[in-house]
Amino acid sequence: MNLLPLIVVFPMFVAIIFNYLNGKDKLIRPMTLLMAILLLALPFIGSYGIYNFGAHGLENGLISGISYLYTPVKQLIITVIMLIGSLVLITGLGEKKSNGLFVALMLMGLASVSAVVMADDLFNIYVFYEIAAIAQTGLVIASGTEKAYRAAFRYLILGNFAGSILLLGVSMLLAATGTLNISDMHNFLLNNPSTPTIYGGLLMLIIGLCYGSGLPPFHTVKADIYARAKPFIAAMLQTYSKFVLVALLLVIFKLFGGLSYFTSTQGVLIALSVLGMVFGVVMALLQNDYKKLLAYHAISQGGYVAAGIALGTPLGIVAGIFHAINHVIYKSALFLGAHLVERRNAGNLNKLGGLLPVIPATAFMVLCAKLAISGVPPFNGFQSKLLLAEAAMNVNMPELAIIMILVSIGTFVSMMKAFYLIYLKPCSQEQIEEYKKAKPSKYAVFSLAVLTFLCVLLGIFPSLATDIIYPFANEIGRVWTL
């Protein structure tokens, strides 16, 4: 029996239970730990291939009903999603008060983003895309500050607009092709002339992609919710966004790949990704608030992911997906490092300093994550950024490779500046004694250690991930030049 639906159904069902248990601390803590362990097993309970719900299948030559498509690449992505979710849940155990609603929203987000990754029909992608947006909004509100409420409200307002645009795009493509299944829709688009309705549907999908992933013009809205949420929650929010970006970009490629007009669409996607990279790193360089600095870097790194996949070549797709995996690992480590720092002072970099002798192990692990995001060997960020640059050079776009390198230099500068201001800047003995009063959360330190280990592991052995992605990328990618 194929247990694939449980990847979505089980976290959703348990989320309802946690919602009812909110306030019962003695039950929530052990159940949260148990759930964090169970999440790691979920990606391995299903079988590869197509799963059709409700005994639906082929009807009149078309696939009907809800269907999931599970492949080794999707299993890898969902494994990473569940791993980050597990570590964030474990980190949450270090909070003074257990919050069942927080766990419920986390599980809703994990289930919905996994469904977006696996779904093989556009309408279900839209439904779970909206559930993921609601879960993200709720997680920001759970941070409990006035600024968080405002950021969540703004995200929700714009989400209503972007979600409606995405649904309109799905409707237009359904009207033009007569099906919601992605494979059937692609076959129709290949064998029939394009119409304004199809062009409109493609445009609407791209708008929904930009909102869900934080690409321009929605980059400030996304950065705001990362910065206003508690740092360990922001680690999960950026993970959701990166894999929604990967999933929707791959859906657009599956639908429109090989069509004559899609080359110009790829140009638009690459332009958006470059804007994301540049805006993100420039805004990060201007920040004094550490969480905002990390938030804008999340936008910038999303630009790298989008650029790689938008190139559309096998190497570009491998580099894009691999960078998304690397990014959620080292960026989650950085947000957890910020969570440990936030216990000692506000996030203002100018008010920090001298933390190295207080938390040396944390400082070392955060430094590893900062080197990883800057693309320094032997960490994982170096491997995926190298592949991205190679992919750009292979399609005769050296200017794109140069932009990636310049953005990486900007990332290194801002990261080293933050490290100096937080850990190395001289401060008074009184301030150090004040820092020592706040004990680091052992749960957060454990999660940070696991993520740091993965940064090194994938930096030394990138083939652990790339060997799984290459067959899929060779199937969906194609060789092209501008």
For every residue of 82-98, DSSP letters joined together read HHHHHHHHHHHTTSSS-
**Which segments of 2-70 does DSSP mark as H helices, in order?**
6-20, 25-41
Residue 481, domain member (yes or no): no
pLDDT band at 66 (very low <50, low <70, confident <90, very high): confident
pLDDT band at 142 (very low <50, low <70, confident <90, very high): confident
pLDDT band at 64 (very low <50, low <70, confident <90, very high): low
Question: Where is average pLDDT lowest: 60-69, 367-376, 410-419, 431-440?
Answer: 60-69
**Is the per-residue pLDDT at 245 higher than 50?**
yes
| Contact assessment for residue 323 and residue 386, using Cβ atoms and an 8 Å cutoff | no
In terms of phi and psi (left: phi > 0; alpha: psi -120 to 50; beta: otherwise), the region of 353 is left
Mean pLDDT computed over 186-195: 88
For every residue of 221-289, DSSP letters joined together read HHHHHHHHS-HHHHHHHHHHHHHHHHHHHHHHHHHHTT-TTHHHHHHHHHHHHHHHHHHHHHHHHT--B
Strand partners of residue 62: 59
**Is the per-residue pLDDT at 344 higher than 70?**
no
Residue 482, domain member (yes or no): no
Question: Where is average pLDDT lowest: 41-45, 207-211, 239-243, 390-394?
Answer: 207-211
pLDDT of residue 481: 46
**Is the per-residue pLDDT at 347 higher than 70?**
no
Mean pLDDT computed over 362-372: 96
pLDDT of residue 436: 77
In terms of phi and psi (left: phi > 0; alpha: psi -120 to 50; beta: otherwise), the region of 376 is beta
pLDDT of residue 61: 63
Higher per-residue confidence, 64 vs 452: 452
**Is the per-residue pLDDT at 350 higher than 90?**
no
Number of domains in the chain: 1
**Is the per-residue pLDDT at 195 higher than 70?**
yes
Q: Tell me which residue range forms the domain holding 256.
A: 5-476
Residue 386, domain member (yes or no): yes
pLDDT of residue 263: 84
CA atoms within 13 A on the CB side of 97: 9
In the block, which residue shows the tokens 């501008």? Answer: 482
Residue 352, domain member (yes or no): yes
In the block, which residue shows the tokens 């019962």? Answer: 24
pLDDT band at 264 (very low <50, low <70, confident <90, very high): confident
**Is the per-residue pLDDT at 294 higher than 50?**
yes
pLDDT band at 482 (very low <50, low <70, confident <90, very high): very low
Mean pLDDT computed over 210-223: 87
CA distance 413 to 435: 26
Residue 419, domain member (yes or no): yes
Mean pLDDT computed over 448-469: 97
**Is the per-residue pLDDT at 60 higher than 90?**
no
Residue 311, domain member (yes or no): yes
First to last CA, the chain: 47
Mean pLDDT computed over 122-127: 92
pLDDT band at 55 (very low <50, low <70, confident <90, very high): low
- pTM, 2 dp: 0.94
Q: In this predicted model, what pLDDT tens digit does every residue of 77-96 receive, in sequence order?
A: 999 999 999 999 999 998 87
Residues 6+ apart with CB under 8 A from 351: 345
Question: Where is average pLDDT lowest: 297-306, 309-318, 438-447?
Answer: 438-447
Mean pLDDT computed over 122-128: 92
Do you know the residue count of the chain? 482
pLDDT band at 2 (very low <50, low <70, confident <90, very high): confident
Question: Where is average pLDDT lowest: 63-67, 102-106, 267-271, 446-450?
Answer: 63-67
CA distance 260 to 101: 48
pLDDT band at 56 (very low <50, low <70, confident <90, very high): low
**Is the per-residue pLDDT at 334 higher than 90?**
yes
Question: Where is average pLDDT lowest: 59-63, 202-206, 296-300?
Answer: 59-63
Our CA angle for 44, 250, 108, nearest 5°, is 50
How do beta strands 62-63 and 58-59 pair?
A: antiparallel
Percent of the chain clearing pLDDT 70 (strictly above): 95
Mean pLDDT computed over 143-170: 88
